[in-house]
């Protein structure tokens, strides 16, 4: 199993049920990693639970959400450590898939997507396969170095970006235009390897840099979108309506390749830029972004963009569907990073299995707490949902072993015929009202059936 160098913050919760079983915490086997594990345990069928216990080390949004959830109680000590090798009861839930790195590590994702694309071309033709062209040309280093050089020579003068596969927050990323630059880098890394053999060779990917990003106010930005996957087989995925656009603090220009601050829009990197003012926050909520686009482009163009973004989620998840170890205990909340170029084409930058839950502003705090609350609603430890819902709070059911359509009467501006997907990214999120209505009607149904 590959190594994961990421240090994780961990938080865990588990239910106290009348039966002594069922704790959730995921910690993979000793040789490797520490995952951020969330464990949940469901009570037996519809049994009324006394309370659900949880424990977390994070003192931020997640802690607030868990503390406020009715019936959930914090505990101070642990009961078990290794869940990778233990049998989990049916009512246990875990917030990660064992091998999510197939999607979240850049080199694996690229491999899976390439393979999926080939398969799609065989089965459904070139046109369908072209729908997978949302990731820039990527080569794994050092194993695909020669393939990379070939591609490099075919397109002289373009910019490439080198990213470490397993690091986050923008660390270790640099841009280059000449082979000479990476030859130097190769020499550096090789020499350091010789000295310290116990430190593993870090894998990198070289990716074509998108030179014409969409700019707002002269600034580059990327989108952070949240996708909740409840299962891979069958594929059930929910899309959260809210998200944000993260802006680079400095103005975009291709002249300053060395200026890491311009090109990387991670808040973590932006925070260290000399221009950064904490009050600014440099984030726009997606609603604002969508409105901005709507006042600048035709409604059809905006609809098409958002359809293309939906396509990214679906295809990327489908590409790892057969590879991810299917486990009915698992669910996962992904943070997708999407970049839009000037032709209004979305590109997938990466998928994060542990999106940052730290809030950078009041608005951000509200978004993340609502996101987590709604995630817990969908996971449904309290067993309130029927399983046929298409919307829970801010989450819309995007894929349920097939596309999910919106209600009747929705306008179809994308020209796809009568079918309109049930996604509302960047749209109004009246989640409180919807949750009230939902839980009220569920209660009524329960009363009626009992």
Partner 1 sequence: MLQEESDLSLIIAQIVQKLKGSNLYSQLERQAWASLQRPEIKLESLKEDIKEFFKISGWEKKLQNAVYSELSVFPLPSHPAAPPEHLKEPLVYMRKAQGSWEKRILKSLNSMCTELSIPLARKRPVGEQKELLNKWNEMGTDEPDLSLFRPVYAPKDFLEVLINLRNPNYENSDSLSFRTHLGLIQVPLKVKDIPELKECFVELGLNIGQLGIDDSTQVPPELFENEHVRIGQKVLAEQDSAAAQQYIRQGSPTALRAELWALILNISSQPEDVLYYEQLKTNVIQHDLLVDSLIYKDVKLTASNDDYYFVFEDYLYQVLLCFSRDTSVLSHFAFNSASPPKSYIRGKLGLEEYAVFYPPNGVIPFHGFSMYVAPLCFLYHEPSKLYQIFREMYVRFFFRLHSISSHPSGIVSLCLLFETLLQTYLPQLFYHLREIGAQPLRISFKWMVRAFSGYLATDQLLLLWDRILGYNSLEILADMWCTYTYSTNVEYLL
Nearer to partner 1, 20 or 411 (CB): 411
Give yes or no for residue 255 binding partner 1 (CB under 8 A).
Answer: no
Residue pair 141/127 in contact (Cβ under 8 Å)? The answer is no
Cα gap 303→218, rounded to integer Å: 24
Give yes or no for residue 306 binding partner 1 (CB under 8 A).
Answer: no
Give yes or no for residue 292 binding partner 1 (CB under 8 A).
Answer: yes
Give yes or no for residue 219 binding partner 1 (CB under 8 A).
Answer: yes
Residue pair 90/330 in contact (Cβ under 8 Å)? The answer is no
Give yes or no for residue 309 binding partner 1 (CB under 8 A).
Answer: no
Nearer to partner 1, 99 or 361 (CB): 361
Residue pair 26/94 in contact (Cβ under 8 Å)? The answer is yes
Q: How far is the CB of 294 from partner 1 (least distance, A)?
A: 4
Alpha helices by DSSP H, listed for 227-266, are: 260-263
Pairing state between β 72-74 and 52-56: parallel
Alpha helices by DSSP H, listed for 249-322, are: 260-263, 267-272, 286-296, 299-320
Q: Select from 42-50, 160-168, 285-293, 392-400 the region that touches partner 1 (CB under 8 A).
A: 285-293
Q: How far is the CB of 280 from partner 1 (least distance, A)?
A: 5
Q: What are phi and psi of 337, to 5 degrees?
A: -105, 120
Give yes or no for residue 413 binding partner 1 (CB under 8 A).
Answer: no
Q: Which of 73, 294, 344, 359 is close enough to bind partner 1 by CB under 8 A?
A: 294
Ordered DSSP codes for 139-165: EEETTTHHHHHHHHHHSTT--EEEEES
Q: Select from 21-29, 47-55, 192-200, 296-304 the region that touches partner 1 (CB under 8 A).
A: 296-304
How far lies 49's CA from each of 16, 73, 330, 338, in Å?
A: 8, 12, 21, 41
Nearer to partner 1, 156 or 411 (CB): 411
Give yes or no for residue 280 binding partner 1 (CB under 8 A).
Answer: yes
Residues 6+ apart with CB under 8 A from 80: 23, 25, 86
Q: Which of 361, 366, 383, 384 is close enough to bind partner 1 by CB under 8 A?
A: 361
Contact residues: partner 1, CB under 8 A: 216-219, 247, 250-251, 275, 277, 279-282, 284, 288, 291-292, 294-299, 361, 363, 409, 411, 428, 430
């Amino acid at each position: 199993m590959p190594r994961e160098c990421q240090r994780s913050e961990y938080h865990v919760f588990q239910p106290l049920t009348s039966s002594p079983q069922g704790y959730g915490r995921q910690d993979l086997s000793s040789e490797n990693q520490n995952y951020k594990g969330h464990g949940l345990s469901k009570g037996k069928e519809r049994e009324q639970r006394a309370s659900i216990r949880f424990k977390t080390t994070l003192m931020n949004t997640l802690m607030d959400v868990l503390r406020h959830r009715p019936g959930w109680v914090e505990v101070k000590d642990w009961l078990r450590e290794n869940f990778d090798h233990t049998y989990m009861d049916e009512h246990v839930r875990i917030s990660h898939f064992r091998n999510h790195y197939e999607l979240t590590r850049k080199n694996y994702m690229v491999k899976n997507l390439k393979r999926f694309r080939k398969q799609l071309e065989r089965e459904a033709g070139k046109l369908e396969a072209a729908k997978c062209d949302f990731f820039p040309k990527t080569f794994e280093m050092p194993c695909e170095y020669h393939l990379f050089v070939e591609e490099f020579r075919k397109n002289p003068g373009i910019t490439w970006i080198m990213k470490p596969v397993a690091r986050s927050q923008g660390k270790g990323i640099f841009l280059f235009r000449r082979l000479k630059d990476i030859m130097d880098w190769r020499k550096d890394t090789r020499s350091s390897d010789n000295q310290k053999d116990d430190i593993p060779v870090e894998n990198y990917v070289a990716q074509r840099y998108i030179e014409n990003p969409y700019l707002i106010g002269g600034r580059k930005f990327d989108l952070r979108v949240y996708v909740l996957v409840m299962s891979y087989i069958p594929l059930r995925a929910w899309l959260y309506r809210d998200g944000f656009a993260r802006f680079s603090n400095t103005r975009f220009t291709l002249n300053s390749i060395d200026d890491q601050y311009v090109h990387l829009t991670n808040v973590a990197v932006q925070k260290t830029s000399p221009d950064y003012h904490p009050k600014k926050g440099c984030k726009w909520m997606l609603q604002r972004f969508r409105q901005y686009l709507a006042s600048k482009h035709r409604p059809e163009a905006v609809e098409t963009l958002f359809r293309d973004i939906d396509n990214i989620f679906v295809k990327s998840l489908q590409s790892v569907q057969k590879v991810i170890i299917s486990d009915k205990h698992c669910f996962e909340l992904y943070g997708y990073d999407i970049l839009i170029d000037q032709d209004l084409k979305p590109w997938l930058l990466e998928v994060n299995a542990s999106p940052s839950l730290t809030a950078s502003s009041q608005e951000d705090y509200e978004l993340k707490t609502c996101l987590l609350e709604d995630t817990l609603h969908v996971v449904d430890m309290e067993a309130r949902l029927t399983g046929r819902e298409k919307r829970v709070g801010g989450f819309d059911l995007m894929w349920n072993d097939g596309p999910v359509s919106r209600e009747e009467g929705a306008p179809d501006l994308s020209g796809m015929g009568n079918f309109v997907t049930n996604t509302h990214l960047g749209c109004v999120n009246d989640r409180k009202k919807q949750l009230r209505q939902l839980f009220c009607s569920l209660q009524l149904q329960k009363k009626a059936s009992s």
